[in-house]
């Protein structure tokens, strides 16, 4: 079993990954953040560092997908290669941080990787309003994230919606994440778990969160 948690920066996807791994007894797989050698530079000068940062993430996420494919364990993954490409890299291209030449090279590399990559059994998307994202980012206090322009975060949110709602071709579950506190409220977490169970195992429940 392989499920993945999708969501914008500050949506709580890493927290949900940890909680679901504990609930199901699955292995959590977290994306590289603190070990990314480009990240702090990227937030200081996005235009200069966008291409190497996106290629670094593409390489890391491709490696993760290969390891997950080869693993016999049940895995819950924090963000996928698909979001990296169709949300983050696409956003940098739209904003002019990746020119056409760099983006075409990046996409050709990604398309070659897709020959070896499988979709998760289920993609769980934490659809989170901008105000909540900003509050969560401020709360966790990473200096490089606090430097992000609001319009950058807003653009990512729009691309997440477009990708998950209109383009993602495999099974997905959309969670309306406004007002939820699944880290501290067991009832909120339980409702999310009920929906995941229904998607994965065909279980029926009255405790559902409507997207």
Can you tell me the distance from the alpha carbon of 137 to that of 139, in angstroms, rounded to the nearest whole number?
A: 5
Question: Burial code of 111-142, b = ≥16 C-beta within 10 A, e = fewer?
Answer: eebeeebebbebbbbbbbeeebbbebbeeeeb
Domains of the chain: 2-201 (3.40.50.300)
Cα torsion for 38, 81, 122, 210, to the nearest 10°? Answer: 60
Give residue-wise pLDDT tens across range 60-119: 999 999 999 999 999 999 999 999 999 999 999 999 999 999 999 999 999 999 999 999
Supply the pTM of this predicted model. Answer: 0.85
Positions of E strands within 55-121:
75-78
Token duo for residue 50: 């966008």
Of 6-15, 137-146, 154-163, 195-204, the least confident:
137-146
Catalytic residues: 78
Task: Provide the annotated binding site for ATP.
Answer: 7-15, 180-182
Would you give the distance in Å from CA 194 to the centre of its chain?
21
Task: Provide the annotated binding site.
Answer: 7-15, 180-182
Give residue-wise pLDDT tens across range 138-168: 776 566 566 667 888 899 999 999 999 999 9
Strand partners, 3: 76, 122
């Amino acid at each position: 079993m392989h499920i993945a948690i999708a969501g914008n920066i500050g949506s709580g996807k890493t927290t949900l990954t940890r909680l679901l791994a504990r609930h199901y007894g699955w292995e959590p797989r977290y994306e590289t953040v603190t070990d990314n050698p480009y990240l702090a530079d990227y937030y200081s000068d996005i235009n200069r560092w966008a291409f190497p940062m996106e290629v670094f993430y593409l390489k890391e996420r491709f490696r993760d997908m290969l390891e997950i494919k080869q693993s016999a364990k049940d895995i819950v993954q924090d963000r996928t290669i698909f979001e990296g490409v169709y949300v983050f890299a696409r956003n940098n291209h739209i904003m002019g941080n990746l020119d056409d030449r760099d983006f075409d090279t990046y996409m050709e590399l990604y398309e070659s990787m897709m020959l070896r990559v499988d979709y998760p059994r289920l993609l769980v998307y934490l659809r989170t309003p901008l105000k909540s994202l900003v509050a969560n980012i401020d709360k966790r206090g990473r200096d490089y994230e606090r430097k992000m322009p609001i319009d950058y975060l807003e653009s990512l949110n729009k691309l997440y919606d477009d990708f998950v709602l209109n383009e993602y071709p495999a099974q997905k579950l959309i969670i309306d994440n406004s007002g939820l506190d699944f880290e501290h409220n067991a009832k909120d977490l339980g409702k999310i778990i009920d929906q995941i169970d229904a998607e994965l195992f065909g279980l029926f429940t009255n405790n559902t969160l409507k997207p």
